[in-house]
Amino acid sequence: MHTRSGLPKMGESKGMNDSAAANLNFNNPLYLHPSDTQGATIVSQILTGAENYNIWSRAMRIALLGKHKLGFVDGSCTKEKQDDSMKEQWERCNAVVLSWILNSMSKELANGAVFFQDARLVWLDLKERFDKASGSRIFAIYREISSLRQGGLSVAGYYTRLKELWEEQSFLVPIPSCKCDTSKIYSEVMQQQKLLQFLMGLNDTYAQARSQILLMSPLPMVNQAYAMISEDEAQKTITGSTMHGPIDGIAMVAQSRGRGRGRGRGGTILECSHCHKKGHIKEHCYQIIGYPSDFKGNRAKTNKTGAANQAGLNAKGEGDSEAHSANTVTTSLTPEQYERLLELLKQDSETAVHALTGTGPSGWEEEGDW
């Protein structure tokens, strides 16, 4: 209903605007979903200043895009572009977007932006103040990428940290996005560089997997390399060999000796079933396999005991076969290995037998036991 002047009565304009807003399509930036409230927080990041502005602004742009409200901060949806019947709806949407921005800022920053009436003006003000792609920040990112090492991190944790740095690097130093051949080559070089950076920072325990990846032609993408290393990590976890660095046989002997000489797994004391002395097992008993030339123990005492025990074994018909089996360890050595064995016996007989014959540590507690 209209007055004589042809203008709608008071309240009639509001009703018409509400009707138009109710008929808006979901994809229209002026559409407000029931969940689009002013008290909502659409990102987890809280803007504190220049140190996290890049991450915050990127998160906000993604969230606003998902809600079809990015146009309120990038200038593609302004009040001037709207019909008169929709300008009031634009004001509502602008107020909601402005509230989302304020809710994601620290209290100190929000207090200074609360007097703005346009969400885009707040966005531009923050960009001007904190979007500083300075050379010092770019340098810091490059330095952290080049010095980052896995260390005590899992492969997933190490790779996630690298990706965070790569994303910030690409934000500050954008990669050409055109479809020309030069851009394609540049993108491939950057992918290869990321692959090498990822492999360089891995622990030495993945040296074999790293070598296999580098031998592939063409080189895989960094995501594919990460999947291969993760699979290798899972296999090492299953086999219980998740050690950060290579370990050889001698080092394994040192680790086993760290649990105590003459002890088995779990720290239990070994006992020979032949001479009944502690600190070794029957397969490594000197009474059976023979004494080393530089043995300093009480040979006479042990020979007497050994003779009686050997006689008992011979009576049972067991001594000869067991002695023959044990003596195979020494008789199978070459002259050069035997000379090397004698030298190593002066240092540590247990380590020498394990290193040269692979029969494991002898398990003797001390020569004085004899």
3-state secondary structure of 236: helix
Is the separation of the CB atoms in 345 and 321 below 8 Å? no
Question: pLDDT tens digit string along 100-115?
Answer: 999 999 999 998 888 8
Helix axes 87-103, 119-130, angle to 10 degrees: 40
Q: Using pLDDT thresholds of 50, 70 and 90, give the confidence band for residue 175.
A: confident
Closest CA to 166 of 211, 214, 201: 201
Question: pLDDT tens digit string along 40-71?
Answer: 889 988 999 887 888 898 899 999 999 999 99
pLDDT top residue among 92 and 362: 92
Residue 24 has pLDDT above 70, yes or no: yes
Distances (CA, A) of 14 to 9, 17, 88, 338: 10, 5, 9, 104
Two tokens at 100? 């989302």
Question: pLDDT tens digit string along 122-174?
Answer: 999 999 888 776 677 788 889 999 999 999 999 999 999 999 899 888 878 87
Question: pLDDT tens digit string along 251-264?
Answer: 443 344 444 444 55
Q: Using pLDDT thresholds of 50, 70 and 90, give the confidence band for residue 269.
A: low
Residue with tokens 């007097």: 115
pLDDT top residue among 117 and 297: 117
Residue 218 has pLDDT above 70, yes or no: yes
C-alpha 173/C-alpha 162 separation (Å) is 16
Two tokens at 282? 């029957």
Distances (CA, A) of 356 to 1, 150, 228, 247, 265: 107, 35, 35, 17, 22
Two tokens at 112? 């200074």
